[in-house]
Amino acid sequence: MLNWFDAYPDDQFVKRNFLANTFDGAIYTFAMSFISLSTVMPLFVKKIGGSNFAVALIPVLWTIGVNFPQIFVANFVRKKPYKKPLLLLTALFQRLPWLLLALFSLLLADKITSGIQVIIFFVLLGLAAIASSINLPGWFDLIAKVTPVKIRGRLFASRAVLGSLLGLFGGWLTNIILSEFSYPLGFTILFFLTFVIMMLSYILLFLIKETEPNPAKENFRYKAFFQRIPSLIINNKNYRNYLAADAFLIASLMADAFFAINAIEKFNLPDAYAGVFTLIIMGSIIAGNFLFGYMGDKMGHKINMWIASSSMAAACIIALLAPSAGYYFVVFIFSGFTATLIQVSRIGIIAEISSEDDRPTYVAVTNMITSPFILLGIAGGWIASSFGYNYLFAFAGSMALLSSALFYFKVKEPRLQSIN
C-alpha cells in the first residue's frame, strides 16, 4: 500500500487522508452490520407489533430518505470553501438517531401501544436516513477533493474489504446478542453498539486534512440552482447516457433477492445452503474489491460499471438455465462481483464525469434519479409470484443487458474526454 502514495510526494496528507477515510468507512460498515435492514430491522418491527406492510416499508423509507434530500443541500455544500466542518456537523446528526432508537427500545418497547411504537420507530429510522442523505454530498465532495483520482478506486475497495470482514464478525456477534438477551434488551444492545461504534468512526473524520479551499466559482440562489439542473443533464451527453445505464443496472438488481430462494426451492436444497451462498457472495466481494479497485484506478471506472452490468446479466442467465444446484455457486460469484463493482465505481465515475464545482450536485441528482429504480424490487416480487422466477430472471437479465450495452457503446471513459 505504501507504494500507492509515492506518486504524490508534494502532498504529505494523501496517505493520512486515505487511511482515515478507509477506517472510517470500514468501522461505519461494521456498525451498520448490527442493525441490518434485511434481517434485524424487520425482526424488530415484528416484535413491536408491525404488520408485513410495515416490514416492506423499511427498505422503501430508507431508499427514499437516503437519496432524495441530497438535492436540497447540494447547492449549500458546493458554496462552502472547506467541506470538513460541514461534514463533522452532519455526520454527528447521522449517528444520533441510533442512540435514540436504543433509548426507545429500552424505555418504550412494550410499554405503549404497538401502533405508536411502529410510528416512533419509522420516525427515528426516517431521521437516520435523512441525516445520512444530508451528510452524503459534503462527504463525497471532501473524499474526491483529498483523494487523488488514481487511488480513489482502491480507497472505496479498501473500505469495502475491511467493512465486509468486520461485518462478518458483526453478524456473528448479532446472533449471539439476540440469542443471549431477551427482547427488548437484545435490540437495545444492538442499537447502542451501533451508535458507539459509529462514534468511533466519527473520531477518524477529525484526522482528515483539508488543506485548500474549493468554493464553487459560480454561486446560485436556490431557485436558479434547481432551474439549472435540467441543463446539467441536457448539456452533458455522457452524463445522460450514464444515468440511463445506471438506472437499468439498478433495476436489474431486483433479481438478487430471489436467487437463493429459487435455488433452494428448485433443487430441494436444505435451508443451510443460504449460509453457503452468503459465504460465496462475501468471498467474491472481498476478492473482487482488490481486483476491481485496482482496475478502476488504472483503467477508469467505466469498464468496472460495464463489468457490473454484464455480471448481473450473467447471473440472471445462469440462474434461468441452471441444470443443477452447482451452477448457482457461479450465480452468487457474479452477484457478489456486481455488488463490489457498484460500491467501488458507481460514485467514483460520477466524480470524473462532473466538474469539480458540481460534484455535490451530480451525486445528489444521480441518486435522486436512478436510486429509486431499486424499488422495482416490489415489481420483481409480483412477477415472481404471478409468473414464476424464470420470468423474473429473464426480465432482470434484459435490464442488465441493456445497461451493459449502454455502458459499452454510449458511456465514454471520462478520463479520455473533457466535460462537455
| Domain range 229-412, CATH class | mainly alpha
N- to C-terminal Cα distance for the chain?
A: 35
Query: 49 and 114 in contact (C-beta within 8 Å)?
Result: yes
The correct answer on CATH 3.40.50.300 for the domain covering 10-205 is no
- Residue 416, burial from CB neighbour count under 10 angstroms (0-12, 13-18, 19+): exposed
* 404 Cβ contact list (under 8 Å, min separation 6): 306, 309, 310, 313
pLDDT at 419 over 50: no
More reliable by pLDDT, 20 or 59:
20
Percentage of the chain exceeding pLDDT 90? 37
Cis geometry, peptide bond prior to residue 69 (ω within 30 degrees of 0) = no
Q: In this structure, what are the phi and psi dihedrals at residue 228, rounded to the nearest 5 degrees? A: -85, -10
Write the pLDDT tens digit of every residue in 260-305.
Answer: 878 888 999 886 676 677 678 878 888 888 889 889 888 999 999 9
CA distance 267 to 326: 10
DSSP 184: T
**Residue ranges in 49-83 assigned as alpha helix (H):** 52-67, 70-79
* 354 Cβ contact list (under 8 Å, min separation 6): 239, 361, 362, 363, 419
CA distance 372 to 126: 16
Dihedral Cα 130, 136, 139, 140, nearest 10 deg = 180
Q: Which residue has the cell 493520512?
A: 16
Write the pLDDT tens digit of every residue in 165-217.
Answer: 888 888 788 878 888 888 889 989 999 999 999 999 999 999 999 888 777 67
**pLDDT tier at 29 (50, 70, 90 boundaries)?**
confident
Q: Which residue has the cell 510526494?
A: 9
Query: 180 and 186 in contact (C-beta within 8 Å)?
Result: yes
CA distance 304 to 347: 12
Query: 238 and 415 in contact (C-beta within 8 Å)?
Result: no
CA distance 51 to 355: 46
Give, for 191, the enclosing helix (H) or strand (E): helix 185-205
Q: Of the spans 154-158, 325-329, 400-404, which averages the highest pLDDT?
A: 400-404
Quick one: average pLDDT of 17-32? Answer: 92
Cell of 248: 437499468
Cell of 332: 452468487
**pLDDT tier at 80 (50, 70, 90 boundaries)?**
confident
Cell of 349: 465515475
CA distance 133 to 96: 14
CATH 1.20.1250.20 maps onto the chain at 10-205, 229-412
List, as one string, the DSSP characters of 277-324.
HHHHHHHHHHHHHHHHHHHHHHH-HHHHHHHHHHHHHHHHHHHHH-SS
Least confident of 37-51, 71-85, 225-239, 301-315: 37-51
CB atoms within 10 A of CB 349: 27
**pLDDT tier at 363 (50, 70, 90 boundaries)?**
confident
pLDDT score for 98: 96
pLDDT score for 286: 83
CA distance 338 to 249: 10
More reliable by pLDDT, 184 or 418:
184
Distances (CA, A) of 104 to 57, 116, 123, 244: 19, 11, 11, 42
- Residue 356, burial from CB neighbour count under 10 angstroms (0-12, 13-18, 19+): middle
**pLDDT tier at 420 (50, 70, 90 boundaries)?**
very low
CA distance 331 to 337: 10
pLDDT at 141 over 80: yes
Quick one: average pLDDT of 10-27? Answer: 86
What average pLDDT does the chain have?
86
pLDDT score for 3: 65
Write the pLDDT tens digit of every residue in 304-340.
Answer: 999 999 999 999 999 999 999 999 999 989 998 998 8
